[in-house]
Chains A and B, each alone.
Chain A
Amino acid sequence: MSDQGTSAKLADAVNVSLTNVTKSFDGMVAVDELNLDINEGEFFSLLGPSGCGKTTTLRMIGGFEEPTSGSIVLGGRDVTYTAPYHRDVNTVFQSYALFPHLDVYENVAFGLRRKKVGKSEVRTKVGNILEIVDLPGYEKRKVNQLSGGQQQRIALARALVNEPALLLLDEPMSALDAKLRHQMQIELKSIQSRVGITFLYVTHDQEEAMTMSDRLVVMRQGRIEGIGSPQDVYDNPSTEFVATFLGASNLLAGKVAGQSAGVTTITLGVGSTLDVPTSRLPTSLSGPDVKVGVRPEKIRIHVYDENLATVGNTLRGRVRVSTFTGVGNQYLVETSSGDDITVYAQNIGEELAPRSGEEVVLSWPVEHTFAVRPAETSISNDELAS
């Protein structure tokens, strides 16, 4: 990639603020009382299962859809009912939506021409941006003669060249194979850090969202389930849905039993207890019922030994399934309370791996334990498949 664009910060980024935005189609609520603040220059992702309202949210910000209620503010300007062509926003569409009747050059130049940018300036800018997306010399090509990845980059160039204050990207990688997708992710991120504009990125690929975002939200059924930096949201999921949607989680039903010194004790079904930092308890518990969670990779697994000394939370169980995955071992452990817990142990050659049927002890530090309110509506497998 060329260095030409590196120094130039293309635009002044803006912040985006959605207040109580609701969108319903024929009475069906697609986006429900959404409140969202995106900082200027941020790489912000919208994450969630299919049909949760990501595209709808994006389309309202882009101006292709009017909210049923609520307001949208871009850089301090209320644009709730402003036409798309009057917003300093550009979109990279899920399907690229390149102009089939125009060549690459005219596709990229389309926005500049509408803004009445001078001819020579258009030529320089288009040339520069094609360098940035690594497609120099493609000016005269027809867009339908380009590969998917190339079309993708043209769509990106076509939006970026206008130096918008905000760039909206709707699942821009969905049609790319894994390798190209990875390459593009890196490229996008480097462009973003170079041009410094606000990116609002829609995806239902959680890994993509976590690797690229400064912050992200997880949406479900038109509502925000969790918001924060990827690590925040991952380590300390705010709801059962976020915990299950983002990465794998072990969630055990329990009841709040008592508190002491910043730690809350939760009893599981058959008398065993787990400790959770009180700060990581959900704020709005409607009763004593909670779900205690721990990520599989945070758990240590030991073959049972009467003399074993453990710190933090401890559970006993029996290995049901043990799978060797090369970089590690994955275990499915049935606890004495009847719950299944997944454990992921890295293959660092330290201990002898427990085998199926062996009695084991699971332990993890208290600070890696979290608790969430049980979901009111059950989480279907469809929602988790991404």
Chain B
Amino acid sequence: MSSPPRRHGAWRRGLAPYLLSLPAGLWLALLFVVPLLIMLSITLKTCSPASGACVMTWQWGELPHVVNQYRGQFVTSLIFAFVATLLDLVISFPIAYWIAFYGGRRKNFFLIMLLVPFFVSFIIRTLVWEFILSNNGVVLTFLRGNHLVPSGFHVLGTGLAVVAGLAYNYLPFTALPLYVALERIDRRVLNAANDLYATRSVTFVRVILPLAIPGIFAAFLLTFIPAFGDYVNQEILGGTSNTMIGTVIQNLFLIDSDYAGGASLSAVLLVISLLGIWLYARLLGSRTIEDYL
């Protein structure tokens, strides 16, 4: 009878994948799942702003309360993040397209050129935008001087400035996935399209664009999600009536010491982001996400 050793072998083979995934699993559990659960549990706790001590009180009321209270900021964030993401797509598609198809041997050079500004700290970059867009900054001084805008025209403090800041700061998150998507389109397939009477523009619409769709969606998610939760751009470039939800969360945690409120809003933010990813996975398959992350 050879069945016992064989069973033993099978058992070991069956266990192997789990053993192999153990380090990654522990890593995920320790650095992602546990903090996430702690954050979620805080939504049900009552914390003292003075001592910082939290007690589990199973209060479910905080979440609907803050969601209702900050509905407007959610909507603002959604709109700003959406517009900034669209802007990024429109701006970075031609750039990514050009680098992918015409970059030749200097592709990497162009990519690095695209990324160089982003080696500078996020805050500094945004502060520079504040400087650029300021009323006495180069841009507005020039425009006013040439009577291209009315004398009272200002950008800083408006939603426009926030969207511009978001779009600028998250551009690489759009450009890189787009580049990857375009770069890996099989050039022979494009030859085939030309061969089958598709002109350049038809090839673009019928072949390049559809093949880039997963990349476009990935770029959208990768830009939209962080832009949605952003709290720096609005703080520095925004005005009085365009607070984003990230700023609210930051204030709840750091100024108001309202941990349950902050955690609740964070949870909602997380759910919205997961929804986007789920939608992506449903529409385009989960395999393709990995390619861009």
- Chains A and B come from one and the same complex: yes
Residues of A whose CB lies within 8 Å of any CB of B are 62-64, 83-85, 89-91, 93, 95, 97-101, 110-111, 114-115, 158-159, 162
Known contacts A101-B210, A101-B211; A114/B198 CB under 8 A: yes
What is the CA–CA distance of A162 and B192 in the complex, to the nearest angstrom?
13
Is B197's beta carbon under 8 Å from chain A? yes
List the 5 closest pairs (A to B, CB-CB), nearest first.
A111-B196, A114-B197, A97-B192, A97-B188, A84-B194
List chain A residues, Cβ under 8 A from B290. Answer: none
Q: List 28 A-B contacts (CB under 8 A).
A: A62-B191, A62-B195, A63-B194, A63-B195, A83-B194, A84-B191, A84-B195, A85-B198, A85-B199, A90-B196, A91-B192, A91-B195, A93-B192, A95-B188, A97-B188, A97-B189, A99-B207, A101-B213, A110-B193, A110-B198, A110-B206, A111-B197, A114-B196, A114-B197, A114-B198, A114-B202, A115-B197, A158-B192
Residues of B whose CB lies within 8 Å of any CB of A are 186, 188-189, 191-199, 202, 206-207, 210-211, 213
Residue in chain B with minimal CB distance to A65: B191
List chain B residues, Cβ under 8 A from A158. Answer: 192, 196
What is the CA–CA distance of A98 and B193 in the complex, to the nearest angstrom?
9
17 more contacts with CB within 8 A, not counting A85-B199, A101-B211, A159-B195, are A63-B194, A63-B195, A64-B191, A90-B196, A91-B192, A91-B195, A93-B188, A95-B186, A97-B188, A98-B189, A99-B189, A100-B186, A100-B189, A101-B210, A101-B213, A110-B198, A114-B202
Within the complex, what minimum Cβ distance (angstroms) separates A57 from chain B?
15
What is the CA–CA distance of A89 and B191 in the complex, to the nearest angstrom?
13
Known contacts A93-B191, A97-B191, A101-B211; A162/B186 CB under 8 A: no
Within the complex, what minimum Cβ distance (angstroms) separates B157 from chain A?
45
Determine which of A85, A99, A101 lies in contact with B197 in the assembled complex, contact meaning CB atoms within 8 Å: A85
List chain A residues, Cβ under 8 A from B192. Answer: 91, 93, 97-99, 158
What is the CA–CA distance of A101 and B207 in the complex, to the nearest angstrom?
8
List chain A residues, Cβ under 8 A from B210. Answer: 101
Within the complex, what minimum Cβ distance (angstroms) separates B147 from chain A?
48
What is the CA–CA distance of A62 and B188 in the complex, to the nearest angstrom?
13
What is the CA–CA distance of A63 and B197 in the complex, to the nearest angstrom?
11
What is the CA–CA distance of A91 and B206 in the complex, to the nearest angstrom?
19
What is the CA–CA distance of A111 and B202 in the complex, to the nearest angstrom?
12
Within the complex, what minimum Cβ distance (angstroms) separates B209 from chain A?
10
Within the complex, what minimum Cβ distance (angstroms) separates A303 from chain B?
58
What is the CA–CA distance of A162 and B210 in the complex, to the nearest angstrom?
23
Instruction: Please determine whether B194 and A64 come into contact, CB atoms closer than 8 angstroms.
Output: yes
List chain A residues, Cβ under 8 A from B188. Answer: 93, 95, 97
Within the complex, what minimum Cβ distance (angstroms) separates A10 from chain B?
16
Residue in chain A with minimal CB distance to B185: A100
Within the complex, what minimum Cβ distance (angstroms) separates B192 from chain A?
4
Within the complex, what minimum Cβ distance (angstroms) separates B243 from chain A?
42
Instruction: Please determine whether A100 and B211 come into contact, CB atoms closer than 8 angstroms.
Output: yes
List chain B residues, Cβ under 8 A from A64. Answer: 191, 194-195
List chain B residues, Cβ under 8 A from A110. Answer: 193, 196, 198, 206
What is the CA–CA distance of A83 and B191 in the complex, to the nearest angstrom?
11
List chain B residues, Cβ under 8 A from A91. Answer: 191-192, 195
List chain A residues, Cβ under 8 A from B196. Answer: 85, 90, 110-111, 114, 158-159, 162
What is the CA–CA distance of A100 and B288 in the complex, to the nearest angstrom?
14
Residue in chain A with minimal CB distance to B196: A111
Residue in chain A with minimal CB distance to B187: A97
List chain B residues, Cβ under 8 A from A62. Answer: 191, 195
What is the CA–CA distance of A63 and B195 in the complex, to the nearest angstrom?
8
Within the complex, what minimum Cβ distance (angstroms) separates B16 from chain A?
29
List chain B residues, Cβ under 8 A from A93. Answer: 188, 191-192
